[in-house]
């Protein structure tokens, strides 16, 4: 008996590899631009370090990124650090993140330079790496030859728009999506136009609409392509990219929320203000590592497990933290109501801790089941199908029914091109009593 379940034939993407003289010319241009950007990067390190060793006494918008303000000096003294040590630490951290950009960009160039998209992404990463965190290493006071290369940084954000619209295939799909990349170029002009046309002079609501149109249309295109045209591998690449952006945004978001929840941390003289550069660096580190994995296509299948565990344990941590805080507050209030407002009851802490320990495993299992049903329905359905078929095998003796059930289970869980099932007949040599099943991919 043979049943077939044909699958749609994947469409081969057009060949975008460079060859011959075109490939050599593209690589030479890449190397020249990268060398010029790197020279500007070295000049920027020296200039940036010199600026960080002085305290900014002007307005905040005229200060270098993470340059000390007079209000920060007290926080610096609480750490027991001098201005020189702070300048060296911030510069080293900035350079370390920049070198990570350069390393991933160079690796993509080494592995993918035969494709125009590999050249484009690697040069984009080198450009961002040579600019430093939030363009901290970009200085127009550099020598003229270096300034010419540094002006490439003005095209970074339009290039980011092209990258986001074409990732991970390197093509505009649908074709009209090049218009969205054009919106990113228009947004660049909004930042360089003189006042009152500069975006800094716009009302807040208009700036919000502008960002919503640019970023929202880009996200909508990616969502459309993910659901309609991406192959399984391209979906995994997209998951890696989204995971990196989400993780980096979570780091910065938590640091911001912590500053709101604890007002003292937002004070200018708080040591917490000196850690902003660390959070920004961690954000970019998560993004660049995820992007490198996505472009180089290394172990893409692991991302589903990582996302699954991140959802489970992230939700579990937030839920248990809220329950723990609620139990402590509630039990402490109850003890104060019974024994008086000045009473201290360490028993509340003990009971809350034991309750959290007891709830950990049941909550984890429930969250795992909920997330599997909501986000990993195919895996959840396959496990349920196999469990139901195992129960059927224990109770059913009708071979015809079992044969139909077995074919249905294999088609639903494995999803092969076709399934063939043979049962030995009495005329054949009795080499075994079990039926043979061939599930051919």
* pLDDT of res. 379: 57
Q: Is the pLDDT of residue 430 over 50?
A: no
Distance, CA of 377 to CA of 383 (rounded, Å): 10
Neighbours of 84 (CB within 10 A): 11
SS3 17: strand
Distance, CA of 265 to CA of 335 (rounded, Å): 31
Residue 1 pLDDT class (50, 70, 90 cuts):
very low
* pLDDT of res. 411: 61
Residue 169 pLDDT class (50, 70, 90 cuts):
confident
Neighbours of 254 (CB within 10 A): 11
According to DSSP, residue 115 is labeled: B
153 versus 27: the higher-pLDDT residue is 27
Residue 441 pLDDT class (50, 70, 90 cuts):
very low
pLDDT digits (tens, 9 = 90+) for 208-241: 888 888 888 888 988 888 888 888 788 888 888 8
Average pLDDT score over residue span 143-150? 61
Instruction: Look at phi and psi of residue 340 and say left if phi exceeds 0, alpha if psi is from -120 to 50, else beta.
Output: left
pLDDT digits (tens, 9 = 90+) for 249-299: 888 888 888 877 777 777 777 888 888 888 888 889 888 888 888 887 655
pLDDT digits (tens, 9 = 90+) for 12-61: 455 567 777 888 888 898 998 888 888 888 888 888 888 888 888 776 66
Q: Cβ-count burial of 440 within 10 angstroms (0-12 exposed, 13-18 middle, 19+ buried)?
A: exposed
Task: Give the chain's mean pLDDT.
Answer: 76
């Amino acid at each position: 008996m043979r049943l077939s379940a044909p699958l749609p034939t994947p469409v081969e993407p057009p060949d975008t590899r460079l060859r011959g003289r075109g490939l050599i010319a593209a690589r030479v241009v890449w190397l020249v631009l990268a060398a010029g950007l790197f020279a500007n990067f070295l000049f920027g390190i020296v200039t940036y370090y010199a600026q960080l060793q002085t305290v900014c006494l002007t307005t905040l918008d005229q200060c270098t990124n993470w340059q000390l303000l007079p209000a920060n000096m007290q926080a610096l003294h609480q750490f027991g650090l001098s201005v020189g040590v702070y300048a060296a630490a911030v510069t080293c951290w900035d350079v370390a993140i920049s070198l990570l950009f350069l390393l991933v960009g160079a690796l993509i160039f080494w592995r993918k330079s035969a494709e125009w998209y590999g050249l484009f992404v690697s040069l984009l990463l080198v450009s961002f790496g040579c600019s430093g965190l939030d363009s901290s290493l970009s200085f127009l006071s550099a020598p003229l030859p270096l300034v010419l290369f540094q002006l490439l940084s003005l095209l970074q954000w339009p290039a980011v728009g092209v990258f986001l619209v074409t990732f991970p295939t390197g093509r505009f799909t649908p074709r009209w999506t090049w218009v969205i990349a054009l919106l990113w170029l228009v947004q660049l002009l909004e930042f360089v136009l003189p006042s009152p046309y500069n975006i800094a002079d716009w009302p807040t609501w208009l700036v919000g609409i502008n960002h919503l149109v640019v970023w929202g249309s880009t996200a909508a295109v990616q969502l459309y392509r993910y659901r309609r045209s991406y192959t399984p591998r391209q979906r995994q690449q997209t998951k890696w990219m989204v995971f990196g952006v989400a993780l980096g945004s979570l780091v910065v978001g938590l640091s911001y929320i912590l500053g709101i929840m604890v007002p003292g941390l937002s004070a200018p003289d708080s040591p917490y203000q000196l850690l902003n550069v660390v959070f920004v660096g961690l954000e970019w580190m998560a993004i660049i590592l995820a992007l490198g994995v996505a472009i180089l296509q290394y172990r893409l299948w692991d991302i589903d497990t990582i996302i699954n565990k991140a959802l489970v344990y992230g939700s579990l941590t937030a839920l248990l933290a809220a329950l723990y805080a609620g139990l402590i507050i509630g039990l402490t209030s109850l003890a104060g109501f019974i024994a008086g407002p000045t009473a201290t009851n360490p028993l509340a802490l003990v009971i809350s801790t034991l309750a959290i320990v007891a709830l950990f495993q049941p909550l984890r299992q429930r969250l795992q089941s909920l997330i599997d049903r909501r986000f990993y329905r195919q895996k959840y359905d396959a496990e349920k199908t196999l469990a139901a078929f195992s129960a059927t095998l224990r109770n059913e003796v009708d071979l015809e029914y079992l044969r139909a059930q077995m074919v249905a289970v294999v088609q639903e869980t494995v999803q092969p091109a076709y399934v063939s099932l043979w049962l030995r007949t009495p005329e054949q040599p009795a080499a075994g009593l079990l039926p043979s099943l061939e599930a051919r991919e």
